[in-house]
């Protein structure tokens, strides 16, 4: 029975890591995974960037961000038709990625397809959330080209307002520092409570130290992976829960031998929690760096 509980908990952890631990949006995850190619593009190594994104699309055909940057590469080398096709393809997989709408609108604007361009810029503004002045700038140009000067001026004013806000607030606007106690840390803390309860149950029920140690190590590595910076807080929290939960909510065995086994499992699990969280954080950073 204990073995089944451990296996189920491991499966639960893997599922959690895969689906819920990373709170980034889909496009943010894609951008992080394609950073090497994005750097090549930003450094004007267009041919290398094109090859990079071309291979990524072949490996993962539904990557909207890869389509966006391959489209930008196509546009740089003068193949505008292929660029537009890639943008449309990318939108079919992620219609909420504002950069796809923006770049599609630019191509339509330059081809004098002004109404199509305006529609694309409208969607870029809708999905951007007033974060980038470029969406308003281009929509203003489209309104201007259509002779709708009042709407154009409103967009240029909005563009100016966003720029002023960025200049006034400085770097904090472009990259705000995440709060120390955030939603992700709170969610992971709830997971730590469940894990600590399970470890205590296994300490009390197991005949040896192997199962408690196994679960403690795995949960601790998970802590380091999901929270490579703040994992030490979760590690301390888990150790407090383990010790407090064991002594406050369980009966201390009368048999000296049994008590020694449980104490060894308890304190060993605490030590392994810190060691495992460090290993998990190291693995996460190594994976990102790689």
Q: Helix, strand, coil: what percent of the chain each, to 5?
A: 80, 0, 20
Q: Has residue 115 got a pLDDT over 80?
A: yes
- 167-183 pLDDT, tens digit per residue, is 887 654 444 445 556 67
Query: Cβ neighbours of residue 166 under 8 Å, at least 6 residues apart?
Result: 133, 173, 174
Q: Has residue 4 got a pLDDT over 70?
A: no
Average pLDDT value over all residues in the chain: 83
The region, left, alpha or beta by phi > 0 then psi within -120 to 50, assigned to residue 129 is left
Q: DSSP letters of 87-137?
A: HHHHHHH-TT-HHHHHHHHHHHHHTT-HHHHHHHHHHHHHHHTS--HHHHH
Q: Has residue 284 got a pLDDT over 70?
A: no
Q: How far is CA 9 from the centre of its chain?
A: 23
Q: Quick one: which of 155, 283, 271, 127 has its CA closest to 212?
A: 271
């Amino acid at each position: 029975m204990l073995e089944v509980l451990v296996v189920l908990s491991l499966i639960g952890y893997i599922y959690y890591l895969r689906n819920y631990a990373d709170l980034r949006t889909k496009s943010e995850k894609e951008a992080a995974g394609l950073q090497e190619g994005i750097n090549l593009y930003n450094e004007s190594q267009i041919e290398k960037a094109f090859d990079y994104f071309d291979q990524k699309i072949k490996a993962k055909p539904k990557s909207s961000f890869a389509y966006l940057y391959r489209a930008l590469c196509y546009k740089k080398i003068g193949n505008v038709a292929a660029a537009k096709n890639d943008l449309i393809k990318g939108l079919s997989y992620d219609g909420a990625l504002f950069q796809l709408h923006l770049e599609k609108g630019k191509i339509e604007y330059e081809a004098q397809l002004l109404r199509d361009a305006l529609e694309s810029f409208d969607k870029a503004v809708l999905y951007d959330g007033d974060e980038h002045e470029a969406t308003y700038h281009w929509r203003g140009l489209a309104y201007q080209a259509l002779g709708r000067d009042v709407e154009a001026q409103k967009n240029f004013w909005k563009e100016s307002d966003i720029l002023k806000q960025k200049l006034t607030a400085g770097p904090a606007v472009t990259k705000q520092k995440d709060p120390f106690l955030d939603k992700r840390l709170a969610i992971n803390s709830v997971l730590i409570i469940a894990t600590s309860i399970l470890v205590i149950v296994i300490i009390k029920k197991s005949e040896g130290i192997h199962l408690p140690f196994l679960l403690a190590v795995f949960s601790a590595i998970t802590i380091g992976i999901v929270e490579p910076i703040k994992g030490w807080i979760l590690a301390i929290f888990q150790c407090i829960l383990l010790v407090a939960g064991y002594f406050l909510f369980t009966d201390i065995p009368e048999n000296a031998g049994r008590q020694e086994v449980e104490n060894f499992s308890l304190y060993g699990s605490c030590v392994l929690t810190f060691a495992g969280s460090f290993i998990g954080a190291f693995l996460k950073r190594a994976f990102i760096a790689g």
